[in-house]
Amino acid sequence: MKIQEFLEHHGIAGNPFAEEDAQNDTVFKRTCLETTFHPAWDKIYGDPADPSTSIVFGEKGAGKTALKLQMVRQFDKHNDSDPERRTFVVLYDDFNPFLDRFVSRAGPHRPVEKTLAQWKLWDHMDAILALAVTQFVTTLTAPGQKRPPKLTPPQARDLALLAACYDQSTGETFPARWRKLRRKVGYTAWLGLWPLMLGVVATGVFGAAAALSVSRGTTAWLGAWWPWLVLAAAWAPWAARRARATWTAFRIVRSMRTGNRTVSQLARALARMPEVDLAGQPLPLMARSDDRYELLAKFQAILAAQGYAGTVVIVDRLDEPHLINGSAERMKQVIWPMLDNKFLKSPGMGFKLLLPVELYRFIEREDEQFNQRARLDKQNLVPSLEWSGETLYDIASMRVKAASVGDPPATLAQLFEPEVDQRRLLDGLRSLRVPRQLFKFLYRLLVAHCHAHTGEQPVYQIPLERFDTVLAVFRRDQDAFDRGLAPR
């Protein structure tokens, strides 16, 4: 007996329990994304008009990625309904490029644990600024994009400076993209060209004079030292400017351990900006967070001028980078610097940290110094993303209904014989704990039932005995995984 025949008999198109990852779950995206929320949703999501921080710990399959997708959808709906007070959303859920660059700076033969021990708060700030600035510049420079609301000259300068340091787009060359951005926001900075223009004009005059002297036969002055000294003096401001820009670029690239900007690229951009525009500006020159806080504040001011009242950073998939590979110790090394109350309570910003539950065990063992710095009591902490049997039952029912094509839609209860009543289902599903295990169990149950019957003698309801048998085996496998004795 085929699973498709069983499901079609009940008016269900496709297996609603086949997908295990919310990122690729079409049933979830089509229906449950806006209808099925965790009981702690209000605490986690907060008020989009005034972004707040929340820290969520959940085991694998508890729905952290689903929460991320739901938050993104709800923030998009808020932005559509209130375009004057939008929320700028940054997805900080791919750590691989940042960790790879960070580790490559330390050398290929250094142990990963020792390298990650040097990961600091400003590395997170650089990564977040890189994601945010790249996303914002992409939006501004997209083909057909309308001219953005006018920025003040200081804001246009700040955006050009932020893009020079943090724009990491690979869709086009950095010089072309930076030039396009400057035109878009009205930052021409002609004053920055005067050293180059002086050298070009002096070289042109020198060349014209030399050509005229050759035609008249009066080239003796070309053998003197003073014409060459004058020409060198004309190029001296440009050379000095490039030298200072190169030194500044070198310090920035050395300090930004998660960036991909080269010294030559950054030096050309900085040399293009007038020195008066760079004087006194915060630059990520040193390994400290102070400059990054100022740069974040400048970026927020630019966003505010574009109609963004707040910024939300969603952190997810911390356990997936290949350098971490699920190691709780390495996850702690990376995320612990971010647990800083000053950073998490940055004005106008909210951080949604969706973290593996293994890290909460470290939280419980931390000392007073850590607790005073992190102030987790002020961060809307959710120690465990738990699901009750009733909530899991509702999720399963919603998925069956979402996949139904009949009228009335199918229900979860009609897949089972009458002996498997709602109370028995609730008791069984409660032990599964998280949605992913719920989907795995129901998928395995459907397979086991269909394999037990032929197509000539189909049985279209699952009996209590098979429900109990498959559940017992699944619980045993689940316990083995919890003890680290089996893959899931």
**Domain end residue (candidates: 353, 382, 411):** 382
65 and 181 fall within a common domain? yes
147 and 254 fall within a common domain? no
HSE toward the beta carbon, residue 120, CA cutoff 13 A: 11
**Domain end residue (candidates: 312, 347, 382):** 382
Between residues 45 and 275, the one the model is more confident about: 45
Domain assignment present for residue 226? The answer is: yes
Between residues 32 and 370, the one the model is more confident about: 370
303 and 337 fall within a common domain? yes
Q: What is the pLDDT of residues 188-233, one digit of tens each?
A: 877 667 777 887 888 888 888 788 787 777 777 777 877 778 888 8
418 and 438 fall within a common domain? yes
Between residues 34 and 438, the one the model is more confident about: 438
Domain assignment present for residue 18? The answer is: no
* Mean pLDDT rounded to a whole number for the chain: 90
85 and 126 fall within a common domain? yes
Q: Of the candidates 99, 395, 152, 382, which has an alpha carbon nearest to the alpha carbon of residue 277?
A: 152
Q: What is the pLDDT of residues 153-188, one digit of tens each?
A: 999 999 999 999 999 998 889 999 999 999 999 888
Can you give the CATH number for the domain in which 137 is found?
3.40.50
171 and 161 fall within a common domain? yes
213 and 339 fall within a common domain? no
Two tokens, residue 9: 């008999």
Binned at pLDDT 50, 70 and 90, residue 327 comes out as very high
**Cα separation, 10 vs 407, whole angstroms:** 11
Domain assignment present for residue 36? The answer is: no
Between residues 335 and 27, the one the model is more confident about: 335
Q: What is the pLDDT of residues 64-90, one digit of tens each?
A: 999 999 999 999 999 999 998 999 999
> For position 18, what pLDDT does the model report?
87
Two tokens, residue 242: 């490039």
Tokens 């914002």, located at residue: 136
Domain assignment present for residue 24? The answer is: no
> For position 107, what pLDDT does the model report?
72
> For position 57, what pLDDT does the model report?
96
> For position 144, what pLDDT does the model report?
75
> For position 186, what pLDDT does the model report?
87
116 and 194 fall within a common domain? no
Q: What is the pLDDT of residues 74-131, one digit of tens each?
A: 999 999 999 989 999 999 999 999 999 999 887 767 889 999 999 999 999 999 999 9
> For position 202, what pLDDT does the model report?
82
**pLDDT (mean) for 277-299:** 94
Domain assignment present for residue 78? The answer is: yes
Domain assignment present for residue 37? The answer is: no
Residue percentage of the chain with pLDDT more than 70: 98
The answer for 105, left when phi > 0, alpha when psi is -120 to 50, beta otherwise, is alpha
> For position 291, what pLDDT does the model report?
95
> For position 483, what pLDDT does the model report?
67
172 and 73 fall within a common domain? yes
What is the number of structural domains in the chain?
3
Domain assignment present for residue 35? The answer is: no
**Domain end residue (candidates: 217, 246, 272):** 272
252 and 401 fall within a common domain? no
What number of other Cβ atoms are within 10 A of residue 485's Cβ?
9
The answer to whether residue 485 scores a pLDDT higher than 80 is: no
89 and 117 fall within a common domain? yes
Binned at pLDDT 50, 70 and 90, residue 448 comes out as very high
pTM above 0.75, yes or no: yes
What number of other Cβ atoms are within 10 A of residue 351's Cβ?
25
- Phi, psi dihedral angles at 37 (to 5 degrees): -120, 155
Residue percentage of the chain with pLDDT more than 90: 66
**Cα separation, 69 vs 71, whole angstroms:** 5
> For position 429, what pLDDT does the model report?
92
- Residue 95 · residue 338 · CB < 8 Å: no
> For position 312, what pLDDT does the model report?
98
**pLDDT (mean) for 367-381:** 94
91 and 178 fall within a common domain? yes
The parent domain of residue 266 ranges over 190-272
Domain assignment present for residue 75? The answer is: yes
> For position 232, what pLDDT does the model report?
83
Instruction: List, in order, residues 6 or more apart from 227 with CB less than 8 Å away.
Output: 206, 221
